[in-house]
Amino acid sequence: MKTLILWFRRDLRLSDNPALRAAVDVAETVIPVFIHAPEEEGQWAPGEAARWWQHESLASLADRLAESGSRLILRRGSTREVLADLLAETGAEGVYWNRLYEPALVERDRSIKQWLRAEGHEARSFQAALLVEPWAMRTGKGEPYRVFTPFWRAFGKRGSPRSPRRKPGTLRPATNWPRSESLQALGLLPAVRWYPRLASCWQPGEAGAEAALTRFLDRGLSSYHEDRDRPAVDGISRLSPHLHHGELSPFQAWQRVSERLAAQAALTQGGEAWLRELVWREFAHHVLFEFPHTPEAPLYERWADFPWREDHQPLLRAWQRGETGYPIVDAGMRELWHSGFMHNRVRMVAASLLVKNIRAPWLAGARWFWDTLVDADLANNTMGWQWSAGCGADAAPYFRIFNPFTQSRRFDGDGAYIRRWLPELARLPDKALHAPHEAEASLLQAAGVRLGKDYPRPVVDYRESRAAALAAAKQLR
Ligand SMILES: Cc1cc2nc3c(=O)[nH]c(=O)nc-3n(C[C@H](O)[C@H](O)[C@H](O)COP(=O)(O)OP(=O)(O)OC[C@H]3O[C@@H](n4cnc5c(N)ncnc54)[C@H](O)[C@@H]3O)c2cc1C
């Protein structure tokens, strides 16, 4: 009777789970295990919001396994020691898992595989989190990609991604289940109970991912290409946390969208735009895998000595609290604090204000996002911040600095997004809402807004700070 350990990590699903599928195909008994070992993730152990998600998602996975006749064994401690104990306790012949690509985890997994094999155990890992392995993509010169468009073209030439794997039926229970810790004992939930509001915004777990995907296919896909930049419109998929925690595989998402595209020609523009975004995720992982220094340092070394503003701390705090005096940015930062999420357009504008106008280091912004986003993902977050700071893959030229007021008028023209997150400005008319500091005093008075009291004046002057940023970049060259 063959027994295998299925090591769950960020693949918290039963459908399209190649490691689980393979284990069930060859073993009579499969022991599903999750090991909490945050210190093995180096500088980037999951942040607070992502840990809340992980807690909920593990609860959901445990329920699904129980429905299939199995269990989820939870342990904490050094992965190697936990696996050694479990192998001894269960008599399992080996361990199967799906691959992850963050630098610290690549190292850890490599050493676990070597150790298992040296001990005479079977150790197999599978491709599940990405449509294409990051090392499989190479330019004509045999180098890694640093620009998205050629990556996208090369991706297109590879043909369609494989079909998702079937969910196993009933799982045979172990005769003697090993001991499991309680979910609470893992200590994933932050000590300060700020997180209950997240539960009103999200449904972590495989069923929640399925519901979010179906909802997007029915309601968002057809107009995604038009609505994806408008933060007040329900026009995006909000699948990023589900994809990050592996409750939905990119293969499942790709197939479901492609099926709709094939069935309804009207979906072509929206569907193709969405699949392209999904490939940005692949690109970000490719860049992280090939350039593992990038979570802490710029992709391009010449940006390493950028002269950040030394007295940025109080400005950084104002940005974190959504008190910059730039309404679109403050709305985004409050959305983030409330829901663990921020719309992509607003992420770009908020990041630009921090790194270019406030001139605080991009890593300070990346760390704040890391702790507050439910979808905090080392590849996507690093790419987003380095793109915004102009020092990363495919970054726009440095001199293209977002004007938050223009962005706000363009993408939130009627101010619905700002009014939702900044109720103190809700009574301002549209023409005053995007830049209250420029509004006539009578408009502010009529709306009951006292600048500096009810809502701050801009913490930095846009034009002056823009000029200072350009001068700083010039100095670097
Ligand atoms: C400064 C900054 C930080 C970011 N940090 C993260 C992060 O920590 N985690 C994260 O998942 N995304 C991050 N992004 C990318 C993007 O903002 C989110 O993926 C997107 O907002 C998620 O919403 P959605 O699922 O509705 O996306 P949709 O618009 O529905 O897109 C579908 C999927 O494509 C992928 N995707 C979309 N845009 C991008 C992108 N620019 N880069 C990489 N993948 C993308 C995501 O997996 C997303 O779920 C960041 C962007 C910026 C500018």
Q: Which amino acid appears at position 154 of this protein? A: A
Find, among 312, 259, 348, the residue nearest to 460 by Cα. 312
Q: What is the pLDDT of residue 390?
A: 93
Q: Would the CB of 228 count as within 6 Å of ligand 1?
A: yes
Nearest CA to ligand 1 atom 31: 277
Identify the segments of the chain with pLDDT beneath 70.
477
User: Which DSSP string corresponds to 344-368?
Assistant: HHHHHHHHHIIIIIS---HHHHHHH
Nearest CA to ligand 1 atom 44: 281
Whether 74 is in the pocket of ligand 1, judged by its Cβ within 6 Å, is: no
Q: Tell me the C-alpha distance between 287 and 150, whole Å.
A: 13
For residue range 214-259, list pLDDT tens digits in order.
Answer: 999 999 999 999 999 999 999 999 999 999 999 999 999 999 999 9
State the Cα angle at 399 between 395 and 405, rounded to 5°.
Answer: 95
- CA separation for the pair 315, 319 (Å, rounded): 6
- Provide the pLDDT for residue 115: 98
| Cα–Cα dist 60/340, whole Å | 19
Q: Whose CA is nearest to atom 46 of ligand 1?
A: 240
Pocket lining: 239 vs ligand 1, CB cutoff 6 Å: yes
Is ligand 1 within 6 A of the CB of residue 244? yes
Q: Which two tokens stand for residue 24?
A: 């069930």
Picking from 9, 87, 72, 93, the residue whose alpha carbon sits closest to that of residue 46 is: 9
* 57, 200 contact by CB (below 8 A): no
With a 6 Å cutoff on the Cβ, whether 388 touches ligand 1 is yes
Q: Is residue 125 within 8 Å of residue 99, measured between CB atoms?
A: yes
Q: Which atom of ligand 1 is nearest to the CA of 283?
A: 43
Ligand 1 atom having least distance to the Cα of 348: 53
Measured from the CB, is residue 369 less than 6 Å from ligand 1? Answer: yes
Residue whose tokens read 């038009």: 226
Contact 116, 94 (CB under 8 A): yes
> Would you state the pLDDT for residue 185?
97
Residue 278 beta carbon below 6 angstroms from any ligand 1 atom: yes
- Residue-wise pLDDT for 399-434, tens only, equals 889 999 999 999 999 999 999 999 999 999 999 999
Q: How far is the CA of 329 from the centre of ligand 1 (A)?
A: 17
- Ligand 1 closest atom vs CA 370: 8
Integer Cα distance of 56 and 60 in angstroms:
6
**Calpha distance 37→16 (Å, rounded):** 25
**Superfamily of domain 3-129, CATH level 4:** HUPs (3.40.50.620)
Sequence-distant (≥ 6) Cβ neighbours of residue 36 within 8 angstroms: 74, 75, 76, 186, 187, 188
What is the longest distance spanned by two Cα atoms in the chain?
Answer: 81
Distance CA 477, CA 472 (A): 9
Strand partners, 125: 97
Beta bridge partners of 97: 125
Location of structure tokens 């197939």: 255
Q: Where are the domains of the chain?
A: 3-129, 130-161+206-290, 301-476
Can you give the pLDDT at residue 348?
97
Nearest CA to 287 among 159, 387, 366?
Answer: 387
pLDDT of residue 161: 97
Cβ of 375 closer than 6 Å to ligand 1, yes or no, is: yes
Instruction: Evaluate the CA torsion angle 79, 82, 87, 92 in order and state its sign.
Output: negative
Q: Is 224 in the pocket of ligand 1 (CB under 6 A)?
A: no
Which residue has a Cα nearest atom 6 of ligand 1?
381
**How many Cβ atoms sit within 10 Å of the Cβ of residue 468?**
17
Length of the chain: 477
Residues 130-161+206-290, CATH architecture = Alpha Horseshoe (1.25)
Tell the burial category of 188 from Cβ atoms under 10 Å away from its Cβ (0-12, 13-18, 19+): buried
Ligand 1: atom nearest CA of 350 is 1
Q: What is the pLDDT of residue 404?
A: 98
DSSP state of 425: G
User: Residue 281 Cα, ligand 1 centroid: separation in angstroms?
Assistant: 7
For the domain with range 301-476, which CATH number is right: 3.40.50.410, 3.30.470.20, 3.40.50.720, 1.10.579.10? 1.10.579.10
Contact of 60 with 204, CB cutoff 8 Å:
yes
Cα torsion for 275, 334, 361, 359, to the nearest 10°?
Answer: 110
User: What Rg, from alpha-carbon coordinates, does the chain have?
Assistant: 24
Short-list 128, 432, 134, 414, CA closest to 288? 134
